Amino acid sequence: VPGIEKELAVEERELNMATQLVEGMTADFAPENYTDEYRKALLDLIQAKLAGEQPEPSAAPPVEGVVDLMESLRA
């Protein structure tokens, strides 16, 4: 990036503070804290189909702020 020095002088105190900050915000990954919502919804759909149910299709999210690219290019 132009205008940025290649070598920066970092004081040891600043480096120690940054290291402590990162270490304080770091934790081991615990996958049990997360749920796979897609997998759950898919399994629910499969179970419904196996039970003979006809699942309702989900509504598409509303589309807002769509720009006509061709109209923008003509302007």
Sequence ranges of the domains in the chain: 29-54
pLDDT at 16 over 80: yes
Cα 62–63–69 angle (5° rounding)?
Answer: 170
Query: In the predicted model, what is the mean pLDDT of the chain?
Result: 90
**What is the share, in percent, of the chain residues with pLDDT greater than 90?**
59
